[in-house]
Chains A and B, each alone.
Chain A
Amino acid sequence: MTNGWVDMKNTDMMLIMGGNPAENHPCGFKWAIEAKRTRSAKMISVDPRFTRTSSVADMFCQIRAGTDIAFLGGLINYAIENNRIAKEYLVNYTNAAFVIKSDFKLPADTDGVFSGFDETKFSYDKTTWNYDAAGGPGHNAAVAGTPPGLPGSVDYDLTLQNPNCVFQLLKKHYSRYTPEIIERITGIPKEQFLKAAELYTSIRKDGDMKKAGTIIYAVGWTHHSFGTQIIRTAAMLQLLLGNVGRAGGGVNALRGHSNIQGATDMAGLFDTLPGYLKVPTPGDASFDAWMKRATPTASKPAPWDSWNYYGNTSKFTVSLMKAFYGDAATKQNDWAFDYLPKVDRDYSWTNLWNDMYNGTVKGMLAFGMNGVAIGPDSNKNIDALKKAEWLVVGEIYQDETSEFWKSPRVIAQGDMKQIQTTVYRLPCAGFAEKDGSFTNSARWLLWKNAAVPTPGDCRLDQAIVAQIFLKVRDLYKKEGGKFPDPILNLTWAYTTPQSPALSEVLKELNGKALADLEDPATKVQIKAGQQLPGFAWLKDDGTTACGNWIYSGSFTEAGNQTARRDPSDPSNMGVHPGWGWSWPANRRVLYNRASCDVEGKPWDPSRKQIWWNEGSGKWVGNDVPDFKVDSKPKDHMGPFIMNPEGVGRIFAPLAAFADGPFPEFYEPIESPIDNLFHAGRTHNPVVTKFKDADDKFGTVKEGFNVVCTTFRLTEHYHYWTKNNPMNVQLVPEPFIEMAAEMADELGIRGGEHVKISSARGDYIAKAMVTKRIKSMMIDGKKTYQIGIPFHWGYRGIAEDEGKTARTLVNALSHTAVDPNAHTPEFKGFLVKVEKV
């Protein structure tokens, strides 16, 4: 989230889309309700189904799964057409005024793709996706042999009239997203769309800047073959309306687990290092070459200032290398650059399973997840595990992954005896049996203590991982090996090496001084060995170590900041500065400089976050300024300090995204119609599909004519709670939500069994016939949509008693992934619906 849970109470307007927080985040949702109760805030729910969130919303639009970009693009068009935009914010805090290279072309002019598309490689040459250098074309001509960069000085037009400025291109691009075409694509009637657009943009009526609107989303947006671009569209809309950096505003991702934000922060993805630092690739010949590629340089209009905070990348990275390898990382050995693996291709989730399916991955350690159930195309994943030599599962229950050989399909096929995979199931500790910190959706790190001891032989995850590591290290010590250095030199200075205390790990992430340090401005000194107060102290000369720069400040000399529990909130703005600790630097709202006008005065004096204090010559306020504290407003430093431009990117230049600098609507990989914008380009052109036997895709012609989406229930948590009698009592068995009209046509009554099939697999459960899903007119054709909650499988109370069908919902979904985030398209695929 740019903002946070508690901050939602400050909002005037909520667009909840691609998320169902009332059901999936009921505790956090209290703040949305608080805004309704105390500010009479309005709430719009856009969802394929009328959910429990919709039940408390002021407006509901039923959208066809996967058509979010069309809807959001329509909102952008509406805001521009009706002058519901934040003009001063737009000109000064975004790149709306920046001029784009004249050879850049929009999809409307280039057959449904942006300029630079390579039909053979399914990828873009992004050279044209760049700003024009000040002084006219030619000033940023690419130097042969080097990848194109952003021009240091950008051409701009503050009147926003230049036909090639970002704003004019934006206007042109989304002028095609008319209410009429939105109705044909999304199934939302034109009048209803206009009502929603009017309501959401009403916060900028008559140029008023006081109100703030928030966009709240979850995996309903990420689970698409263009998920990143959906979120981009939302971010652009929020920039256009001046909602980012504001209390009650922002773009707010609701994370689906208590600590999934922490997992991402700690490099849960293959292409990042802790703190979202870029991984080295085989093209990086040295540490310096890597840093040169990874460190941006400022790119802005000449009179403006840009802090370009990622200019400090080398400080974060050297400190990380010192945390990893300690004394073994020196300037002489390039900070142990050779120790790091160089990521040569896509190693994301679906690729790992695909590699196992194809026999190159021989084994898997599965902790904290139920792999065959949570990934797309379960049957393929089970087939992959059949080929593995070994599988280690650390879990608190017998789950579908550790018993993949008991899946209904394996039993039906009768090939259980042929499976040679050795499965080790390790009893792990549950969340209440461990201490440690959770990083919530709001970026708040909250320390927790173990509530109960681990039962029986259960072990803590870190004890299991540590013992595997120590054993591997012993083997390297004894036997040598090709390159033992990264293993032998890894820092492992924990009091109990066999089971590191997580508080020691957090201290390591926070970082410490390796030599005596002094801040030249304030003369504040830090002694060698002391914990660092924050990432501003990090150095690239080897005198600091820090395991994750964004977590620096979480465990200082003052102690574990994440364990703080001071509920006071002096400003009554939901800041609670002494409650836990949020990254970065305990800031609650990111980009909060944008909460003020150019002079540094809050847009809304009743919701003051930070402001410029002329007397002290500093930015001060109720939150920690996300800005250079002594940068005077007249210097015009941009509020978006992490971008080299210093401003928000309405146009995302160069390699920021794989599929375009503006989001363009493409249909899901399986969709009932062709792309109405350009028939020849139905799908996201840079998405590649796997081509193995289990990777099948269906079409309407083959009878797969119903749009299917998956979802979660309040009453269950993933695949765990089917083992808990209380949860099972609340919702005893799986079901399939379908429109009453559809059920009538198929002769299905509520509670009768229904078979859902996709090109990949089948799923059988009882029908929930409801008025909460309705038929839609998609491009003039009546189309149905169904929703399936995914919480069941072949192990659980009801499953073990033989009461349910025991299949996995993800046997239906397919493996096509978002090209930026590598997230599979779990939502909006095609199925057949039959009465059993």
Chain B
Amino acid sequence: MSQATLRVQKISGHAGSVPGDDAQREYTVCKLIDTTTCIGCKACEVACMEWNDLPFGETVFDNTYQTMPETRWNYWNLILFNEHEKEDGSLMWLMRKNQCMHCADPGCLAACPSDGAIVQYTNGIVDFQQANCIGCGYCITGCPFDIPKMNPKTNRVFKCTLCSDRVSEGLEPACIKSCPTGCLHFGSKEDMKDLAEKRAMQLRTDYNFPQAGVYDPAGVGGTGVVYVLHDATKPELYGGLPSNPSIPWSVRLWKGPLKWLGNAAMIGGILGLVVHYLRFGPKEREETIKQPHEGAEP
């Protein structure tokens, strides 16, 4: 893959056309996670930390092998461990690598009001541009997978980039490279879907998983991360993977049909401000000494 795969396709909060979107479309990249061969070794967690130069954080024992309860602004890749007892009494210990799903129709991007804070490249990667982030947190509510997380110190939101810096140089994401069992694959969406369907078929015919299937939910236009699940009818078992994820209706409404309402409210607000100023005049500055702001973090 070349740099061309990182051509911008959509831009959040951006009026008008997307630069370069009339160019020939490159194929969409995709990560395949076969949960049936994941051994929860966390190599992907470490690779993610190391490649992205994320700082170590403190964790506490929480009666699980899972490193922490959920992803953090500086921990983008987390394997979720879930013990599930089947009806026949046998146990399944389900491990699902959780990270940004890189939706084709990204809720975060739809919800983001800041020009260029979230972009989707033509290859499907959804990437946050922290320089443009205003810290409103709307992307967090817009995500049906609960992935973006705010750095409380800098008010910037972070998540997995699908290693866009590696992918743009023709490399696979760091997690893929580190996976020892090969439960992680990377390639075009078409190839990954094909591989996933074949594996699901094998699980249905040669192994005792009649409900095995592929997770690529239509509600968000399909995802740039697809899962093979032992039981595709119950994705919730895998640490709350939603059966039918979709962009929250509030985001759809607000950014779609009701966008004029927001604009009207904004204009109303400005008008109110003008009226207030005309009526009461400027506010006097209060002489207080503020604490120095803590050092900014990325």
Give A residues with C-beta under 8 Å from B.
22-23, 26-27, 29-30, 33-34, 36-37, 40, 50, 52-56, 58, 60, 714-715, 725-726, 728-733, 735, 750-751, 766-772
B41 is an interface residue with CB less than 8 A from chain A = yes
User: What are 17 A-B pairs with beta-carbon distances under 8 A?
Assistant: A26-B41, A30-B182, A40-B206, A40-B207, A52-B39, A55-B95, A56-B36, A56-B38, A60-B91, A714-B39, A729-B56, A730-B42, A731-B65, A733-B60, A766-B61, A768-B63, A768-B64
Partner among A53, A725, A767 whose Cβ is within 8 Å of the Cβ of B39: A53
Partner among A725, A766, A771 whose Cβ is within 8 Å of the Cβ of B83: A771
Residues of A within 8 A of B59 (CB): 729-730, 732
Q: Indicate whether A769 sits within 8 Å of B42 (C-beta atoms), given known contacts A54-B93, A58-B208, A60-B91.
A: no
Among residues 189 to 233 in chain B, which have CB atoms less than 8 Å away from a CB atom of chain A?
Answer: 199, 202, 206-208
Asked if A733 contacts B67 (CB within 8 A), the reply is no
**How many cross-chain pairs have Cβ atoms below 8 Å apart between A and B?**
105
Asked if B62 contacts A751 (CB within 8 A), the reply is yes
- Minimum CB–CB distance from A29 to chain B (whole Å) comes to 6
- Minimum CB–CB distance from B198 to chain A (whole Å) comes to 10
Residues of B within 8 A of A770 (CB): 63, 83
Residues of A within 8 A of B42 (CB): 714-715, 730
Q: Which residue of A lies closest to B95 (CB)?
A: A55
Residues of A within 8 A of B171 (CB): none
- Minimum CB–CB distance from A403 to chain B (whole Å) comes to 25
Q: Which residue of B lies closest to A28 (CB)?
A: B180
B49 is an interface residue with CB less than 8 A from chain A = yes
Report the separation of the CA atoms of residues A726 and B53 in the bound assembly, to the nearest whole angstrom: 12
List 9 A-B pairs, minimum CB-CB distance, nearest first: A750-B63, A40-B206, A22-B39, A55-B93, A725-B56, A26-B41, A33-B181, A26-B180, A27-B180
Asked if B181 contacts A29 (CB within 8 A), the reply is yes
Residues of B within 8 A of A733 (CB): 60-61
Asked if B60 contacts A771 (CB within 8 A), the reply is no
Q: Which residue of A lies closest to B179 (CB)?
A: A30
Report the separation of the CA atoms of residues A770 and B91 in the bound assembly, to the nearest whole angstrom: 11
Residues of B within 8 A of A56 (CB): 36-39
Residues of A within 8 A of B83 (CB): 770-772
- Minimum CB–CB distance from B81 to chain A (whole Å) comes to 9
Asked if B91 contacts A771 (CB within 8 A), the reply is yes
Asked if B37 contacts A37 (CB within 8 A), the reply is yes
Asked if A730 contacts B45 (CB within 8 A), the reply is yes
Report the separation of the CA atoms of residues A750 and B65 in the bound assembly, to the nearest whole angstrom: 12
Q: Using a Cβ–Cβ cut-off of 8 Å, how many residues does chain B contribute to the interface with A?
A: 40
B294 is an interface residue with CB less than 8 A from chain A = no
Report the separation of the CA atoms of residues A726 and B63 in the bound assembly, to the nearest whole angstrom: 19
Give B residues with C-beta under 8 Å from A.
36-43, 45-46, 49-50, 56-65, 67, 83, 85, 90-95, 180-183, 199, 202, 206-208
Secondary structure class of chain B's binding surface, majority of residues: loop
Q: Indicate whether A52 sits within 8 Å of B181 (C-beta atoms), given known contacts A37-B199, A58-B208, A729-B58.
A: no
- Minimum CB–CB distance from B87 to chain A (whole Å) comes to 14
Asked if B41 contacts A714 (CB within 8 A), the reply is yes
Residues of A within 8 A of B92 (CB): 55
Report the separation of the CA atoms of residues A735 and B37 in the bound assembly, to the nearest whole angstrom: 26
- Minimum CB–CB distance from B37 to chain A (whole Å) comes to 5
Seed contacts A37-B199, A730-B67; 15 additional CB < 8 Å A-B pairs = A26-B41, A27-B180, A29-B180, A33-B181, A50-B93, A56-B39, A60-B91, A725-B56, A726-B56, A732-B58, A767-B63, A768-B64, A769-B63, A771-B85, A772-B83
Residues of B within 8 A of A26 (CB): 39, 41, 43, 180-181
Residues of B within 8 A of A766 (CB): 61, 63
Q: Indicate whether A23 sits within 8 Å of B39 (C-beta atoms), given known contacts A729-B58, A730-B67, A735-B61.
A: yes
Asked if A30 contacts B181 (CB within 8 A), the reply is yes
Residues of A within 8 A of B206 (CB): 40
Asked if B46 contacts A730 (CB within 8 A), the reply is yes
Q: Which residue of B lies closest to A715 (CB)?
A: B42
- Minimum CB–CB distance from B95 to chain A (whole Å) comes to 7
Residues of B within 8 A of A30 (CB): 180-182
Residues of A within 8 A of B202 (CB): 37, 40
Asked if B182 contacts A33 (CB within 8 A), the reply is yes
Partner among B46, B90, B95, B183 whose Cβ is within 8 Å of the Cβ of A726: B46
Residues of A within 8 A of B91 (CB): 50, 54, 60, 771-772
Residues of A within 8 A of B90 (CB): 60
- Minimum CB–CB distance from A536 to chain B (whole Å) comes to 37
Report the separation of the CA atoms of residues A270 and B93 in the bound assembly, to the nearest whole angstrom: 43
Report the separation of the CA atoms of residues A456 and B130 in the bound assembly, to the nearest whole angstrom: 40
Q: Which residue of A lies closest to B198 (CB)?
A: A37
- Minimum CB–CB distance from A682 to chain B (whole Å) comes to 32
- Minimum CB–CB distance from B42 to chain A (whole Å) comes to 6
Residues of A within 8 A of B62 (CB): 750-751
Residues of B within 8 A of A771 (CB): 83, 85, 91
Q: Which of B43, B63, B94, B208 has the most CB of A within 10 A?
A: B63
- Minimum CB–CB distance from A556 to chain B (whole Å) comes to 33
- Minimum CB–CB distance from B233 to chain A (whole Å) comes to 20
